[in-house]
Structure 1
């Protein structure tokens, strides 16, 4: 049962029944609601400003773990980059040097790696720099691995071809020289026997009696077998492939013909005194990629280390050549 409320009226000194209008009731209710809303809003603001919801705490943990994993990934990519750089150095300066192959150029190794523009779409992320840096490192490592893989495929083919390369590389002396006393003039400037002036001597002279056997110093194909009374006289030129050619000059006669395939150590002719020559001897030259090189560097297959040093000493003597 609803209670009736009274109030004391001092005017007539009587208790009178309290009558409350509906508008007043509505206004009071509205005031209470507004007050409640203000306090509720304040509480919500404080809660959301200073306290995380369970979902927010979960998302923050996920973001922290993601940042940690990205940093770990970045460190691992840095390590992989260092390892790849070491592999590239060995590839260019060891493996390819051994097999006489050109190193992979820097431009080729970095081809296809763009700048930060290709990662512009990542700028919309909250952790854009972290993600972009990691993506760029990943792309760089990926490209380097592709290039290095191709390079190792090439080196693998070079390994398979190495045996053939060694067989086609000059590696012995063209005449028997067990006593190491047949080298009379080496590579370099020597006194010309006819003109008596210093002139570049582009090979090594081996003194030997006329008719001494002359051998091919590596596998190859006879490119020239010329008979002449001038210059090199009777000469044989063997093309060994891989940029190597050898010349055998002033011969008395041949045992091979043009186009014939020969093996290292095979008899190809005989020492003579033909052409511009002052005594029986063999003039021997080695050519690599069109340039005359010192043949003394290609006697390693039939000499002991001490014998090789003795041959170098004899070849470096300043004297007069035979041609």
Structure 2
């Protein structure tokens, strides 16, 4: 029992001491803040004495009011510097954007100039394409379109009026040009197909110079000529081509099949006859030697023999004939086919 009473006394003593300590601490803190408050609210008088005999001004201030004024002043100065820095940064950004805007404007002006140049070129392209298509009997893009407003015909936007600002609607122009070019693809393909078929036709008819490399000249033309052996006039059924020497390669004037490889001592000497499509035949006479055999298929430009002086001949040359069925025709007309087509296309 004695130990319990001692424990209770100890506990009560401890509680009492803690209460006293807390009370002392609270009083100390209160005293501290009281002193601080007294210092902050202590009044000071600032006397303003003018040099003249005017009234003297007394300003009563406290430490707290001066501290508040100092904070306000510091805030104003800080805000001034912050806004100054922000203004400088914004000014730099605006200057950079202004430079970019000027560059963009310059690029836009250049684009407009190039667009105008493109439209002028497109006008010439339309005229040339329409002329070519008309000559070949192919419909132009304008004729193909059922709705003129939706067609790609360049004439539909070469009449575009300028806006109030004096500028053309470049984007709309380029769009219409794109539509026109898209509509012109099919006619251009038809031209390609036509040229391919024409090229195939030219390989099927005797249309090239029958001496390799295009060398030599015509020493006697087709038709009425003086016979070099009798001195009398006669009908020369081909053309004679000479290079002044033997051994130059003779080529097939068109695709075909060799039907004759023979020798005529009193006439053509060594000669070759080739059968072509569309009823054409070609004869090559006075050859030095052959490079083909009967029944062989040859292509245009393929070597079939060499220039010689065999048979009834006055010197090394090639006697070249063109037949259509049983009729003999002037080979020179067919030798000019390619050059004539090229002139017409120009």
Question: TM-score under structure 1 normalisation?
Answer: 0.43
* Bigger Rg over Cα: 2
Query: Which fold has the larger relative contact order, with Cα–Cα distance below 8 Å and residues 6 or more apart in sequence?
Result: 1
Structure number with the higher helix fraction is 2
